[in-house]
Amino acid sequence: MPKDIVEAYTLAVKARDSATRQAMREVIDFCENNLQCSADQSLKRNTLLLWAYKRLAASYAKAKDFAKAYELLCKASEIPAGFNAKVALGFNMLRAANNMSDDINAKATKVTHTAEFLKNVYDEAGDEENYHRMLKLQNAALRVLQQSSVKH
């Protein structure tokens, strides 16, 4: 077990592709299970943790497990990050949701959740145009859910 998050990151970077999931999981687990790291909200900690979640999600997406990738990206969305990182994360969440083999209701629910996340990001940045784009996306997904519930 690494002694700090930087050592966990260093080990993860050195890991071969076959060990990527385990290495990323170790970075995440270290921070979740280490009182000092879990209480730390430094830029270094948040950047490394976000990197680990995104890389782990990418490995699941590559293996076509888009549900797990989406779940990990949702966890990553809870980590404080800059505007560009949040927007990229939101679009990765949308891609994962779109590629899932779930039924249309599950996809629409995930799109609704992700659009809400992105609306908040754009609202915090004062980006009205993109806020309204996400509002339209969210409303379209909600209409899909409403139409589906009417049919059942």
Distance (Å, whole) CA 132 – CA 126: 11
Supply 54's token pair: 């995104």
Distance (Å, whole) CA 126 – CA 137: 18
Contact 31, 37 (CB under 8 A): yes
User: Which tens digit of pLDDT belongs to each residue from 60-97?
Assistant: 999 999 999 999 999 999 999 999 999 999 999 999 99
Supply 13's token pair: 């970077």
More confident site: 89 or 18: 89
User: Which tens digit of pLDDT belongs to each residue from 48-68?
Assistant: 889 899 999 999 999 999 999
pTM reported for the whole predicted model: 0.83
